[in-house]
Structure 1
């Protein structure tokens, strides 16, 4: 199998699942444009039943930032019980014209340029290990999952990025998931196998405690089914500030997975993203945007021209 470096173009995409996701989506898109410029394609997938409810200021900001809004059919997969996390898998399955696609949770902000030079035509997926073993703490827990698909237990291990940094079977945080759009030499695309794998695991009563980690359980298994190599990226591509003070050197961080507005507000680089978004916003809508970003602006002193 050829292993030449595998991309010329790239899409970054996220799921905007209702009004509560609009503010972080704006900041994510703004931060991507700040760090990466105009070239990458940015796509916001919105469930079909919510696309008409997108607020005016959000639509305008996504237009300013050249973000394509695409309707997402969430009715064609019946999770039982409902599984909103699964929307990221459905969005991943949508076809894009670029060589690479990267899914990002909306509670992520991009702080510096990213290059995926380690990704080759033999890469099935690229991701960052999870922080702690939220599922599958023991190898034996994974055995029935791999056995479902007649797969051997992987020889590879990854180091988790938080706490004791345990060495475990491949297990990744699904807030950042990248893959090659054109799939492997057999024409299999990673996201299609990810969905198929997740549905099969979800329907298997022998696999317990799956929620909300079903997407993360299915991810390495789908990659194993696809063949090729999982490219394990550094923590700087999915950095968590949880339990950190806010005065850390984050100059090497590419993507910060802040999760909470309070974590976001600790860092000057993050606060600057909100200022730039307000500067980009048309004057007549700036007050609405300030209101929408209230969680991220709480206690932050804005320049006078943005505060009024």
Structure 2
């Protein structure tokens, strides 16, 4: 069924549920994966022709701030490290088996784990990061200490390295990373993006060129010969809050419903997808109708990235 060239037959998706919220302060984002699965995502993927494995949500020990005092500015560092390391092992194991890991978050600190796992299986993989935020603060530049705003800097090996995260091998190279949808970037992050020559397409570029051209330009940068594996890490706050209201850090002026889906469809069409993250659905925020809307969008983004077409 699949046109994805790096997968084994029969084409299999491993749904990795990560009900984890330790990378940021707002409760509820740990409910995101549970709601996505309750909404029928597993069966929806089977209807697309995939074999799907889902062995329940990963059980993470309760966050207990008393047990996990800050290291410098970093909040919950031991918990985040332990969880992301276990996620890296799970995702890497699936990727090495020729299975497509679809990780449902939880907060975006989890990408430290998912992308580490992908790079363990595919050292030359590139990352398409779709988000309102760059998530590239370092231990020095972070104001909040919330690690969900920092996973990219850990993956790139930027800033001073806390011992707690020494397991992360900075295997991601700046030229293998591209952003789409940015619109809320701190001054320190802008400097990091410039200093490391990291390609980023903000909403200004999306407005200027249109999403079709943007995806083409993004892929031309990270995957010019269209031969490298792709890890797509999608934060639902990349979408405009009118489309996906139930998320922890919504920012006006985001991607439309169709722009978000087009990115997923176009990545699938390359045949190069090896891992997918869908992060930051928070069902505790907004009213019931908005939660339902956000969960439905989350499910349809995953389906689009796994081959669902309009015709």
So what's the TM-score if we normalise by structure 1? 0.38
Larger Rg: 1
Higher helix share goes to which structure?
2
